[in-house]
Structure 1
Amino acid sequence: MIMGDTCTRGCSFCAVKTSRKPPPLDAEEPNKVAEAVTSWGLDYVVLTSVDRDDLVDQGAGHFRKVVQRLKELSGVGAGETENDNGNGEKKEKKKAIIVEALTPDFCGELDLVTQVATSGLDVYAHNIETVERLTPRVRDRRAGYQQSLNVLGHVKQVNPNVLTKTSIMLGLGETDEEIRTTMQELRENDVDVVTFGQYLQPSRRHLPVKEYVTPEKFEEWRVEAEERFGFKYCASGPLVRSSYKAGEFFLKNMVREKKREREEAAASAAAVV
């Protein structure tokens, strides 16, 4: 999580601490994050952040710098590079890191969304969290259901090659038809991946759980998301969260396949010329 540990919003489902004026950003964070993540040898990383409505650009420029610096240090793109073992005999392939950014809504200011969407990331995630009827109760007043849809739709307009992803919490009192309407509207905005997880109450002062959804029902939502609504992938289960390790393998393959397709198309175009 970047941009500090204090959020400027107060969503009623979230336990992250809040303040109207959090501490200033660390200018060295892009380097620190990139160096740390690169040293861990990961091939997939999820960057997320608190909301920073107190900043002029709400942190979009900072988010962009973190992604770009991470790509610089780890090797740009999501392809593969060959590394000599030192004696010139055998080479092993090293896969460049894939970056997923789970972002705020930047108050719906689409120029700020563009900054992050065109930063070189591979997966752009923004959580719609719940159905439209429950949004005013569940999320901070500065968030909005349509605002989140606009963010997700805009990402694909400025970067058609990126995968888009969102997450929905169940157990807040939503109906089946409201969930289906939400999925339909997400697909109308070309969202590729959706996850469903069980809402859990962080403390007594947060929203209560209305329902504990069964594993069988979660599986039904997974099937419906993929087969009826056409999401490329859906992770769905009581313990699933927006950044869910079980989905990383699938997303890594999708990102790399999309890159191969672009490279093959470019090579074919060049051959024709």
Structure 2
Amino acid sequence: MSCRPEQGKKAEHIRKPDWLKIKLNTNENYTDLKKMMRENNLNTVCEEARCPNIHECWGERRTATFMILGAICTRACRFCAVKTGLPNELDLAEPERVADSVALMNLKHAVVTAVARDDQKDGGSAVFAETVRAIRRKNPFTTVEVLPSDMGGDYENLKRLMDAKPDILNHNIETVRRLTPRVRARAKYDRSLELLLRAKEMQPKIPTKSSLMLGLGETHEEILETMDDLRAHKVDIMTIGQYLQPTAKHLKVQKYYSPQEFGELRTIAMSKGFSHCEAGPLVRSSYHADEQVNAAAKERQRQGDEQLETTLQS
């Protein structure tokens, strides 16, 4: 499964395989959600990051991933299509608008992510936490998943977010250790691992999750090492997907992995102890997130039942 390009050779454009062809679904659900986002002045990572699953999630599953703290990121990662530059002032009314939209959409599970806000001392964590609390107030039966940046490694900012008690803390490792400096602007592989571990230490009952994208030149051995690193830092859920080049300015795809290869990697991930793993060419970190939180909830229930049984026996 090694796909590291030969030294000294310029990466050539690789034709996209048939299994990456997407069926568009612009039905009433899709158009309603798009209209709602615009009317409420909300951003979604579905649109900004050009997610290949937007028509499935909006058109069929009626789910969306809200992107708060504006639409301009302070970082310029070489895989990401989100705009980079100097962000606008924080919108303190945004949490309530997101919560209202979750109610209008009648979501069972809401995913909230954000651009990196390195211009803010708290990394935007106060608005992030308030968004979780606002969703909780107006949608008490909706589960909430958060997907923050590394917040510059400031764990007070992380604690502020974890104190809001999301149902899942998701932070993406994105790529293997060797490729991190080339792929992720300002981010550090070990800092991401540390953030995931700290989140688990702060709230042991909250599942943690991370995502790995393939096709950037990683080897099979490096993929397995990344899995091991995530498990060593107590990560519960993993998603594995194919990197797709968003524009000609971004990193080129070195390899397209087949559905069979993704299936093999999912089997390996589960054997390493992840409670849930989504793996496939079009899988992204919030893909079928509603199913992942259900799996995590069942696992928490199982552990609770075992603990209760142990207590009754002692």
| One-letter identity of the residue aligned with 1:31 | E
1:2 aligns with 2:68: yes
Label 1:26 to 1:226 Cα distance change in 2 as closer, same or farther (>3 A).
Answer: same
The CA deviation at 1:25 is: 1.1
> When the two structures are superposed, what TM-score results if normalisation uses the length of structure 2?
0.75
Partner residue of 1:59 out of 124, 130, 137: 124
| One-letter identity of the residue aligned with 1:27 | L
Instruction: Identify the residue that residue 231 of structure 1 maps to in structure 2.
Output: 274
Partner residue of 2:163 out of 118, 124, 127: 118
1:134 aligns with 2:179: yes
The 5-angstrom pairing of residues 2-21 of structure 1 reads: 2-19=68-85, 21=86
1:163 aligns with 2:163: no
The CA deviation at 1:39 is: 2.0
The CA deviation at 1:257 is: 5.4
Q: List alignment gaps of at least 5 residues for structure 2.
A: 1-66
Instruction: Identify the residue that residue 187 of structure 2 maps to in structure 1.
Output: 143
1:101 aligns with 2:146: yes
Give the distance between the partners of 1:268 and 1:218, measured in 2 at CA.
38
| One-letter identity of the residue aligned with 1:209 | V
Partner residue of 2:137 out of 72, 75, 79: 72
User: How many positions carry a matched residue from both structures?
Assistant: 247
Give the distance between the partners of 2:217 and 2:198, measured in 1 at CA.
29
The 5-angstrom pairing of residues 202-217 of structure 1 reads: 202-217=246-261
Label 1:193 to 1:260 Cα distance change in 2 as closer, same or farther (>3 A).
Answer: closer
Instruction: Identify the residue that residue 241 of structure 1 maps to in structure 2.
Output: 284
Contact 1:161-1:258 at 8 Å conserved across structures: yes
Label 1:267 to 1:218 Cα distance change in 2 as closer, same or farther (>3 A).
Answer: closer
| One-letter identity of the residue aligned with 1:59 | G
Label 1:233 to 1:268 Cα distance change in 2 as closer, same or farther (>3 A).
Answer: closer
| One-letter identity of the residue aligned with 2:142 | I
Q: Give SS of 2:128's match.
A: helix
Contact 2:275-2:299 at 8 Å conserved across structures: no
Instruction: Identify the residue that residue 294 of structure 2 maps to in structure 1.
Output: 252
The CA deviation at 1:36 is: 1.2
1:34 aligns with 2:76: no
Give the distance between the partners of 1:110 and 1:52, measured in 2 at CA.
15
Partner residue of 1:221 out of 254, 265, 275: 265
Q: Give SS of 1:57's match.
A: coil
The 5-angstrom pairing of residues 182-197 of structure 1 reads: 182-197=226-241
Q: List alignment gaps of at least 5 residues for structure 1.
A: 76-95
Contact 1:103-1:126 at 8 Å conserved across structures: yes
The CA deviation at 1:120 is: 1.9
Partner deviation per Cα, 1:115-140 (whole Å, 9 max, x = no partner): 11221210000000000000000000
| One-letter identity of the residue aligned with 2:173 | I
Contact 2:108-2:290 at 8 Å conserved across structures: no
Contact 2:275-2:295 at 8 Å conserved across structures: no
The CA deviation at 1:250 is: 3.9
Instruction: Identify the residue that residue 88 of structure 1 maps to in structure 2.
Output: none
The CA deviation at 1:114 is: 1.2
Q: Give SS of 1:211's match.
A: coil
Partner residue of 2:221 out of 166, 173, 177: 177
Contact 2:209-2:235 at 8 Å conserved across structures: yes
The CA deviation at 1:214 is: 1.0
Partner deviation per Cα, 1:131-160 (whole Å, 9 max, x = no partner): 0000000000x2000000000010110000
The CA deviation at 1:262 is: 4.9
Q: Give SS of 1:33's match.
A: helix
| One-letter identity of the residue aligned with 2:300 | K
Label 1:264 to 1:195 Cα distance change in 2 as closer, same or farther (>3 A).
Answer: closer
Partner deviation per Cα, 1:61-117 (whole Å, 9 max, x = no partner): 110000011111111xxxxxxxxxxxxxxxxxxxx1110001110011111111112
Label 1:222 to 1:107 Cα distance change in 2 as closer, same or farther (>3 A).
Answer: same
| One-letter identity of the residue aligned with 2:178 | R
Q: CA RMSD in A?
A: 2.0
Partner deviation per Cα, 1:151-205 (whole Å, 9 max, x = no partner): 0010110000101000001000001111111110100000001111000111111
Contact 1:44-1:252 at 8 Å conserved across structures: no
The CA deviation at 1:254 is: 2.4
Give the distance between the partners of 1:145 and 1:187, measured in 2 at CA.
14
Give the distance between the partners of 2:152 and 2:110, measured in 1 at CA.
25
Instruction: Identify the residue that residue 91 of structure 1 maps to in structure 2.
Output: none
